[in-house]
Amino acid sequence: MSDLLDLDGPLSPPRRNGELGFDEPWEGRAFGIVLAIVESSFRGDWELFRQLLIHAIAEQPDRPYWHSWAVALERLVTKNGLLSVEEIDAAADGHA
């Protein structure tokens, strides 16, 4: 997992005293969801998510890090048929 986290590079997640830094509960949940999906659906192969995260950061460099993480997560699940955009929208609206 250290390759995914890119501990010293531009993909490095925010840290506080060496620990991952989450400002909001959803950020930690999004992180955990990505970990679970990559481990279960992609056999621990982080490259696809890493590339999606790189693209999300590159398209809006000023976007907060965890928001880019959420964009990459949504793309991961929709592009691989795990969820549809409609299912994500319904869940976000509390209708799932």
Query: Residue 59 maps to which CATH number?
Result: 1.10.472
0.85 exceeded by pTM: no
How far is residue 37's CA from residue 42's CA, in Å, rounded to a whole number?
7
HSE-up of 64 (CA within 13 Å, CB side)? 9
**For 7-58, how does the pLDDT look when each residue is reduced to its tens digit (9 = 90+)?**
566 677 888 888 888 999 999 999 999 989 998 998 878 889 999 999 999 9
Q: Could you tell me which residue, 5 or 64, shows the higher pLDDT?
A: 64
Give me the pLDDT at residue 96, please.
53
**Is 77 a residue whose pLDDT tops 90?**
yes
Burial 3-39 (b: 16+ CB within 10 A, else e): ebbeeeeebebeeeeeeeebeeeebeebbebbeebbe
* Domain limits for position 12: 2-92
Task: Report DSSP state, residue 8.
Answer: T
The token pair at 52 is 């999606």
Give me the pLDDT at residue 91, please: 85
Domain count, the chain: 1
